[in-house]
Amino acid sequence: MDVTQIENKEHDRSNKWQSGIMVFAMFSLLALTGFVIWGGMGVVMAIGLSLFLIFTVSRASPKMVLKMYKARPFGPRDLPALQDIFDRLVERADLEHAPTLYYVPSKMMNAFATGRGEQTVVAVTHGLLEHMNNREIGGVLAHELSHIKHNDVWVMGLADVFSRLTNTMGQIGQIMLLLSLGSIIMGKGTPIPPLGIAILLLTPTISTLIQLALSRSREYEADYGAAQITGDPAGLASALRKIEKAHKGWLQAIMPGRKVPEPAMLRTHPATEERIERLMAMDGRQDMPTPVRLPEPVVNPPREYVVRRRPRWHIMSGLWY
């Protein structure tokens, strides 16, 4: 085992510890909220609900997500150059199970990974294939494969479960507090300690902030993993520039006066500028693997792949594509 492999293993181990601590902190907030509302029974309820939803998340099929995006698998004769790129990257990623490649009929420049185990999927949009070159597409695909390799879909699903439960319990506790105010004022109820009130008010927000921080951490790690898979950090950096420019264009079209910057702690993804800086700092480093050889034919959607409608907000699913 060479020095680079040892460093990568240490990096992965540190990454897992960091994610584990964050997820445990979210569970602790959930248990604490349950304890304030119902005492020991609240902790038992929190554990029971968590175990049930963790089991549900781990068994969830990616078909529901793919259906919401109207995604469909590429056929054996569809875009052979894209499938060639994907196969080479899957081999370099050293995944236990090869994911299936899906197509999303949307002009948005985007890609995502979903599923777990043998049911993993990587989906790419029409807009991404239409506007990116092979090198940039390779970087984006490698980023999604890195998410799969590090089990990010399951980790973020778990974090979402804890965050939603903590928010729900916090709201229940706040409603119970408001309903009991009359009895407390008249001296018939038991006063709630200020610490308990603070916990009910703050734990949902703290849990959400930890979830957002975890998401940003996973994105940084997926960028690093993509660079290790492709050996070409600059390719992903170029793709991120295009995606950022396109997304800003759509936002300006919908909200022309939008100029207020989003606070860093409220972002699900790190700032694109920061991600690009990190990637470019890796470019040309001696510990980078040899860049993957990509096929020559440029990947473009076939003529029968036509998307005319503009991206829009889908109210029922809450998705934008």
Give the CA distances from residue 278 to residues 204, 219, 272, 283, in Å, rounded to whole numbers and listed in that order. Answer: 32, 12, 10, 9
Beta bridge partners of 313: 320
* Catalytic residue set: 144
Confidence of residue 148 (pLDDT cuts 50, 70, 90): very high
Mean pLDDT of 85-106: 94
Q: What pLDDT, on the 0 to 100 scale, is given for residue 315?
A: 63
Give the CA distances from residue 156 to residues 128, 243, 321, in Å, rounded to whole numbers and listed in that order. Answer: 24, 22, 21
Q: What is the pLDDT of residues 279-289, one digit of tens each?
A: 999 988 888 89
Residue given tokens 């259906």 in the structure block: 67
Mean pLDDT of 54-74: 86
Confidence of residue 77 (pLDDT cuts 50, 70, 90): confident
Mean pLDDT of 249-266: 53
Residue given tokens 């099929």 in the structure block: 61
What letter does residue 189 receive in the DSSP assignment? Answer: S
CA distance 110 to 123: 9
* Token code pair at residue 117: 């185990």
Q: What pLDDT, on the 0 to 100 scale, is given for residue 266?
A: 63
What would the DSSP string read from start to end of 258-305? --PPPPGGG-SS--HHHHHHHHHHHTT-TTSPPPPPPPSSPP---TT-
Q: Which residue has the higher pLDDT, 298 or 266?
A: 298
Q: What pLDDT, on the 0 to 100 scale, is given for residue 305?
A: 75
pLDDT at 124 over 70: yes
Give the H/E segment covering residue 103. Answer: strand 100-104
pLDDT at 290 over 80: yes
Cα–Cα nearest to 4, from 236, 220, 282, 238: 282
Judged by average pLDDT, the poorest of 41-50, 86-95, 241-250 is 241-250
Residue 126 neighbours by CB under 8 Å, 6+ apart: 103, 104, 105, 106, 107, 301, 305, 307
* 37-45 contacts, C-beta under 8 A, 24 or more apart: 37/169, 37/172, 37/173, 37/176, 37/200, 42/169
Confidence of residue 265 (pLDDT cuts 50, 70, 90): low
Mean pLDDT of 101-109: 92
Judged by average pLDDT, the poorest of 46-55, 88-97, 216-225, 247-256 is 247-256
Confidence of residue 219 (pLDDT cuts 50, 70, 90): very high
Beta bridge partners of 125: 104
* Token code pair at residue 125: 């949009």
Residue given tokens 């990190």 in the structure block: 278
Domain count, the chain: 1
Burial class (CB in 10 A: 0-12, 13-18, 19+), 217: middle
Domain encompassing residue 306: 3-320
Q: What pLDDT, on the 0 to 100 scale, is given for residue 300?
A: 76
CA distance 124 to 286: 31
Q: What pLDDT, on the 0 to 100 scale, is given for residue 299?
A: 79
